[in-house]
Amino acid sequence: MRITRVLSMALIALGLAAGPAAADSSPSASPSGDSGAPTEAGTSFRTATEIEQGQTATASGSTGDYLYWSFPADTGQRPTVKATVKLPKAPSAGQKWQIDVYDGLRRRQACQYGAQTRTAAAGASSVELSCTLRTVRSWSEPWADDPLPGTYYLRLTVLNLAQDDLGLPVGAEVRVDSKDIGGKAAVDGSLAKPLVPGIAVTDPGEDDDKPGKAVLSAIDPDDGWSSGWWTDRWVWTGLGGVLAALAGIGGYALTRGSGRPSRVPPGA
Amino acid sequence: MIRRQRLAAGLGALLAALAAGLAFPAAAVADETTALAPKVDLVIDVSGSMRAKDMDGQSRMSAAKQAFNEVLDATPEEVQLGIRTLGATYPGDDRKTGCKDTAQLYPVGPLNRAEAKAAVATLTPTGWTPIGPALLKAADDLEGGEGSKRIVLISDGEDTCAPLDPCEVAREIAAKGIGLTIDTLGLVPNAKMRLQLSCIAEATGGTYTSVEHTDELTDRVNQLVDRAADPVVTPVAVEGASECAKAPALKSGLYTDREEFGQERWYRVDVKPGQELRAAVSVAADRAVSPDYGVLLRAVTVHGREIVRGEAAGTGRTDVISTGLRYPKAESDDEDAPAETVCLQVTHSFAGAAGVKATPGLPLELTVDVVDGPSDAGDVASFGLGRGWWLLGALIVAGFLGGLVWGWLSRWRVAVWRTN
């Protein structure tokens, strides 16, 4: 009897230890090598350059260009977009840069924090911008504009500038990383298809990477879109069930005293 | 009976095959590569001012020639490249003649590098700067085919042939709906020329670059030619109506339209029960507009009830303002339930700056996707599952109490049984 009790206590302790460990696992987007990272940017939603999360993409352009990239974001991720604008020629005072993030429906997505807009100091050689989005959810009501899994667009632009600065060369470096928020943000419901523009006209069996075939967005995460089935809530709930059962056994055992009463003769 | 079914199935298959054959004629497949080939027309200013020796110690003309040679070497195979000059032949003072002076130096087509280079070598700075007429002719050069089209205009001075405003010309070319982009490069720019060239670029969704060094010129033109080579989806032109009843019916796809200041555009999309309509709209600012603007996209029933809307507003310099909406139509128990016609209304609140023309309207891009509907949430949390220490605590307490009660109950039952 004692052995079982010790065992059950150990199990509870183990469960308590394992619970948070499973819950807080945060394998953020693995920083893959930058080989093959795009060195160009698009100039509109349609021509946006597709990048992967964890990739540092670079581009060169002219001050006044609108530079577009697109990246995939999946359920449970909280993407952070970082952009560095390199100004080879010192700008006039008051040059203001901005990054905007749009979802697959071209709806502007709010930044929770980060310097989305920043004014370059006179004579500055670079401007750093950043935007942390809200956590991507698997489902939301159609009247909300919560981030949903799918394509995200990133637009880098100079918001206002002195006329003399227009057309001067400029370099840009962007990177998207995301934190895995996990079960905390696991909501019920799911989309039939991710919010990827043009997905209704893209044949799913077709190889999107086939050259010459233009699609609006060929975004696809490396390991596919999550099915939305797994969340660490299964672990928590399952563990809760086991603990409840153990506690139930414990409670039952308390009412029975410690084993067989000694005064009862054997074989009775 | 079975035979009749087979016959019907056979007929159906035959019809389907015929329909497929009609939709994709064999010839179209063969011509696909040429029809879809991206086309680029390089338009180079050969006016007298190109003689000025202010680019890395050499004249603007020789800098341009050097850049062209390098660009011709690096042009991707699939790009059909042509070269047009402006101000290359007429050295005189007659404005009228000078302003018609634009010629095709190398026709748009499969590139023969040696021939093209030889043609470029003959250029000598000569005449006027008729940018407007040159752009019109360049647009003609690029006509035909369905690939992306791009004009790269390299100039060192503003248009000298007023009153034909090249900026208006560019907007008209864009409004013809042939999906043409004009990128402009200004050599050693001054304020007036910068304004004009950036206006041309803005009117067609292109880019403007100031160039002061030869290598900058080479890099930029190469970049622009490469951009043309990237395959891109060409939108289908539609014309939205002023009310839902007359609106064109759209299916999934990418569409383009024009919308004037203060205008409404209506489209209709059929959505079956269990399907989801996704619509995104972008309205581009292709001319000088006030710095505060917005766009509204509404999904409305045929009876005028608003279902859902997407709205966006912005401030500051912009190329587009865009928004979108989602409308999942609930499943129906009736299998033959008819599709619902959803009216999409697009309005924008751009205001033209003083003296800006209202026609043609601002370019509008509409993406429509009709996909399967989502599986709706039955609970806030995923599958209604729980999470966190409070949950564990509550379950443990509940389990413990359950165990106690069960224990006491069974003790009590044993006691009662014993006494009986």
Domain encompassing residue A223: 26-231
Cβ-based contacts of B79 with chain A (< 8 Å): none
pLDDT tens column, B198-220: 999 999 989 999 998 888 999 99
CA distance A211 to B38: 14
What pLDDT score does A267 carry?
A: 58
pLDDT tens column, B363-409: 999 999 999 999 988 888 999 999 999 999 999 999 999 999 999 99
- The radius of gyration of chain B's CA atoms, rounded to the nearest angstrom, is 32
Question: How many angstroms separate the CA of residue B375 from the nearest CA in chain A?
Answer: 5
pLDDT tens column, B142-184: 888 888 889 999 998 888 777 788 888 898 888 887 778 999 9
Task: Determine which helix (DSSP H) or strand (DSSP E) holds B8, and give its type and residue range.
Answer: helix B2-23
Which candidate, A27, A29, A232, A226, places its Cα nearest to that of A138? A226
Considering the domain boundaries, does residue A127 fall inside one? Answer: yes
Q: DSSP string of A193-232?
A: S-B-TTTTTS-TTS-TT-TT---S-----TT----S---T
CA distance B388 to B164: 71
Residue B2 neighbours by CB under 8 Å, 6+ apart: none
Cβ-based contacts of B375 with chain A (< 8 Å): 139, 189-190, 192
Q: Minimum mean pLDDT among B25-39, B79-93, B161-175: which range?
A: B25-39
Question: How many angstroms separate the CA of residue B48 from the nearest CA in chain A?
Answer: 24
Which candidate, B351, B331, B329, B348, places its Cα nearest to that of B340? B329
Q: Please indicate if any CB of chain A lies within 8 Å of the CB of B392.
A: yes
What would the mean pLDDT of B91-112 be, rounded to a whole number? Answer: 85
Which candidate, B349, B325, B347, B329, places its Cα nearest to that of B339? B329
CA distance B253 to B366: 8
Which candidate, B163, B160, B150, places its Cα nearest to that of B193? B160
Considering the domain boundaries, does residue A109 fall inside one? Answer: yes
CA distance A60 to A84: 12
Considering the domain boundaries, does residue A12 fall inside one? Answer: no
Considering the domain boundaries, does residue A4 fall inside one? Answer: no
pLDDT tens column, B336-357: 889 999 999 999 999 988 888 8
C-beta atoms of A197 and B367 within 8 A: yes
C-beta atoms of B231 and A237 within 8 A: no
pTM score of the predicted model: 0.85
On whether the CB atoms of residues A128 and A114 are closer than 8 A, the answer is no
Q: Please indicate if any CB of chain B lies within 8 Å of the CB of A23.
A: yes
Is residue B310 pLDDT above 50, yes or no? yes
For position A201, which CATH number holds?
A: 2.60.120.380
CA distance B307 to B288: 34
Cβ-based contacts of A244 with chain B (< 8 Å): 395-396, 398-399, 402
Cβ-based contacts of B392 with chain A (< 8 Å): 16, 19, 236, 239-240, 243
Q: Which of residues 325-354 of B touch A (CB under 8 A)?
A: 325-328
C-beta atoms of A253 and B377 within 8 A: no
C-beta atoms of A106 and B208 within 8 A: no
Considering the domain boundaries, does residue A154 fall inside one? Answer: yes
Nearest residue of chain A to residue B381 (CA atoms) = A187
- Banded pLDDT at B362 (limits 50, 70, 90): very high
Strand partners, B345: B266, B298
CA distance B124 to B62: 9
β strands within chain A, DSSP E: 49-50, 56-62, 67-73, 77-86, 96-102, 108-109, 117-119, 126-132, 150-160, 169-180
Question: How many angstroms separate the CA of residue A138 from the nearest CA in chain B?
Answer: 9
Considering the domain boundaries, does residue A254 fall inside one? Answer: no
Among residues of chain A, what percentage have pLDDT more than 70? 79
C-beta atoms of B278 and A248 within 8 A: no
Taking CA atoms, A62 is separated from A42, A220, B19, B179, B184, in Å, by: 13, 30, 49, 22, 11
Question: How many angstroms separate the CA of residue A238 from the nearest CA in chain B?
Answer: 9
On whether the CB atoms of residues B34 and B145 are closer than 8 A, the answer is yes
Question: How many domains does one find in chain A?
Answer: 1
DSSP A107: P
Q: Please indicate if any CB of chain B lies within 8 Å of the CB of A224.
A: no
Tokens of B87: 């101000």
Is residue A156 pLDDT above 70, yes or no? yes
Considering the domain boundaries, does residue A239 fall inside one? Answer: no
Give the sign of the dihedral formed by CA B33, CA B257, CA A45, CA A221: negative
Q: Minimum mean pLDDT among A115-124, A215-224, B116-125, B348-357: which range?
A: A215-224
Considering the domain boundaries, does residue A111 fall inside one? Answer: yes
Cβ-based contacts of B226 with chain A (< 8 Å): 40
What would the mean pLDDT of B218-231 be, rounded to a whole number? Answer: 89
Which candidate, B285, B304, B397, B310, places its Cα nearest to that of B342? B304
Of B226, B280, B385, the CB nearest to A106: B280
Residue from A106, A143, A166, A258 to probe the interface with B (highest B Cβ count within 10 Å): A106
Task: Determine which helix (DSSP H) or strand (DSSP E) holds B314, and give its type and residue range.
Answer: strand B306-315
**Pairs of residues, one from chain A and one from chain B, whose beta carbons lie less than 8 Å apart:** 260
Q: What is the ipTM of this complex?
A: 0.86
What would the mean pLDDT of A53-64 be, rounded to a whole number? Answer: 93
Buried b (16+ CB within 10 A) or exposed e, B187-202: bbbeeebbbbbbbbbb
Q: What is the mean pLDDT of chain B?
A: 86
What pLDDT score does A23 carry?
A: 38
Q: DSSP string of B13-65?
A: HHHHHHHHHHHS-HHHHHHHHHHT--EEEEEEE--GGGG---BTTB-HHHHHH
What pLDDT score does A106 carry?
A: 95
Q: Which domains does chain B have, with CATH numbers?
A: 35-229 (3.40.50.410), 236-372 (2.60.120.380)
Is residue B8 pLDDT above 60, yes or no? no
On whether the CB atoms of residues B151 and B135 are closer than 8 A, the answer is yes
